[in-house]
Structure 1
């Protein structure tokens, strides 16, 4: 049975991760301070190093939390493309686009986490592709890179100009372009 102190510690950690995720999505990693996070969470800023060691440790907790949310949110029996397009619409996914610009910079502390995220997304997509149904001259690896890249690009465009991007039409177009043999449902 969990003690009250353990429950309080877990709640503090959850509040800090939630506040950091929101602020990193709004302002980016570099522009967010411990003070910003502590104020948003309503918790002492000294709690951040106690729970996470440093700001990078907090970022890792945020990205791991978001990655788990992505991976557990997909049903292996559901329509994969529909699930991905639905995930794009969630407010929490803004975090991935905001931090992507920082992730591509050499030496970025986010880079490794994005590499893991993209690999997890490619593995998830690859697991759903029937190998016998691939078009001639394609590989599962290359196709999953293309699919994940498409989704990331669509997501970025929609976050920048949601009024200009019809996600339902994009989903229908992706379905029309994929061979019928690649039933992602």
Structure 2
């Protein structure tokens, strides 16, 4: 009997979260009401109050369920056995966008995060999460490029932070525009665009006579190549 009760509670919570995710993504956080969410879930408003003290707590629970690809960037990078090539890095970032647009839940949560700007003012968690996501993209790119592109003295190339900022702007801007108007954005071209943004580092390697050398790992060893 206790087990059945627990299962019922979990089912109710799941239904509420599914309904809230849909209502928040379509109506926006500020416009959404508990009545709409309850009706979408086929439950009463009392069921919502039993599980969540207010709308902000409900939103937090909705966001916590979805793990965006960019949330996982630090984990993916730390698990790499070797430094990613520029092509691998570009594909990984492009794949993250494709995953967001092809997964209904990630699509809805991204819509809530990026298109419902009232959340930035009303909900600290949304602002913090957006900041963390954007910073993770930049941190990941800087770390990957720092390991691959070095100045002649072994220090990271000075242009890397600016390139990482441009890549972050490309990714966040592209997904934002795609959510507004899918017809105008070709996400399949993102990896090539990322490579183009990184190309000054590769051009510097060949044009400036070893001022910046390209490092890459082969197996467990480190090979340094230059002009």
In angstroms, what is the RMSD of aligned CA positions?
Answer: 3.1
TM (norm. structure 1) is 0.77
Moved more, 149-158 or 23-32: 149-158
Aligned with residue 169 of structure 1, among 178, 185, 189: 189
Classify 1:96/1:4 alpha carbon distance in 2 versus 1 (closer, same or farther; 3 Å).
Answer: same
Moved more, 147-156 or 75-84: 75-84
Alignment of 1:49-88 (within 5 A): 49-66=49-66, 68=67, 70=69, 71=71, 76=76, 79-88=91-100
Structure 2 unaligned blocks of 5 or more: 81-87, 150-155, 203-213, 217-227
Moved more, 70-79 or 131-140: 70-79
Classify 1:127/1:45 alpha carbon distance in 2 versus 1 (closer, same or farther; 3 Å).
Answer: same
Task: Give the corresponding residue for 2:148.
Answer: 133
Q: CA deviation at 1:56?
A: 0.9
Please identify the structure whose Cα radius of gyration is greater: 2
Alignment of 1:112-131 (within 5 A): 112-120=125-133, 122-123=135-136, 126-127=139-140, 129-130=143-144, 131=146
Equivalenced residues, count? 177
Give deviations 1:136-182, integer Å, cap 9, x for gaps. 22466x65554333222101111111111111123322233224679
What SS does structure 1 have at the residue aligned with 2:45?
coil
Alpha-carbon distance in structure 2 between the residues aligned to 1:72 and 1:8: 32
Q: CA deviation at 1:10?
A: 1.1
Classify 1:143/1:21 alpha carbon distance in 2 versus 1 (closer, same or farther; 3 Å).
Answer: farther
TM (norm. structure 2) is 0.64
Task: Give the corresponding residue for 2:171.
Answer: 151
**Which structure dedicates a bigger proportion of its chain to strand?**
2
Structure 1 unaligned blocks of 5 or more: none
Q: CA deviation at 1:119?
A: 0.9
Alignment of 1:1-16 (within 5 A): 3-16=3-16
Classify 1:82/1:89 alpha carbon distance in 2 versus 1 (closer, same or farther; 3 Å).
Answer: same
What SS does structure 2 have at the residue aligned with 1:118?
helix
Alpha-carbon distance in structure 2 between the residues aligned to 1:72 and 1:122: 12
Q: Does 1:89 align with 2:101?
A: yes
